[in-house]
């Protein structure tokens, strides 16, 4: 019954009807609507970043806010394998020759 009624109305009409009856609700937005919401950028919930491979992309920021503390800004993730040398070399003690062998075998 409710599904049939809602299918014949726009989202705006449904929200107006809900408001008229003091029924709390909010629209469900798709990803494109969320990522283009100017308010979310102004509030610092979304930010544009420059990704080294993808170019300009939108990332969400942390929703946690603390008084007197600057929010942590998200950034692009490191490229796959970018940390191989420090991890395998410095942390695990593999010699450079072994790293070359692993790269040649496409193991890392």
pTM of the model: 0.56
Confidence of residue 78 (pLDDT cuts 50, 70, 90): confident
> pLDDT tens-digit profile of 21-70?
999 999 889 999 998 999 999 998 899 999 988 999 998 888 888 888 88
User: What average pLDDT does the segment 72-100 reach?
Assistant: 89
pLDDT for the residue 71 = 77
How high does pLDDT run on average in the chain?
90
pLDDT for the residue 102 = 92
Q: What is the DSSP string of the chain?
A: -HHHHHHTS-HHHHHHHHHHTT--------HHHHHT-HHHHHTTSEEEEEETTTEEEEEEPPS---TT-PPPPP-PPPPTTTTHIIIIIIIT---HHHHHHHHHTT--
């Amino acid at each position: 019954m409710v599904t049939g009624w809602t299918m014949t109305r726009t989202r705006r009409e449904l929200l107006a009807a809900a408001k008229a009856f003091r029924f709390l609700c909010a629209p469900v937005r798709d990803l494109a609507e969320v990522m283009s919401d100017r308010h979310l950028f102004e509030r610092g919930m979304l930010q544009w970043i420059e990704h080294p491979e993808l170019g300009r992309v939108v990332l969400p920021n942390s929703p946690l806010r603390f008084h007197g503390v600057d929010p942590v800004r998200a950034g692009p993730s490191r490229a796959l394998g970018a940390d191989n040398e420090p991890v395998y070399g410095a942390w695990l003690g593999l010699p450079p020759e072994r790293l070359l062998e692993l790269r040649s075998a496409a193991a890392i």
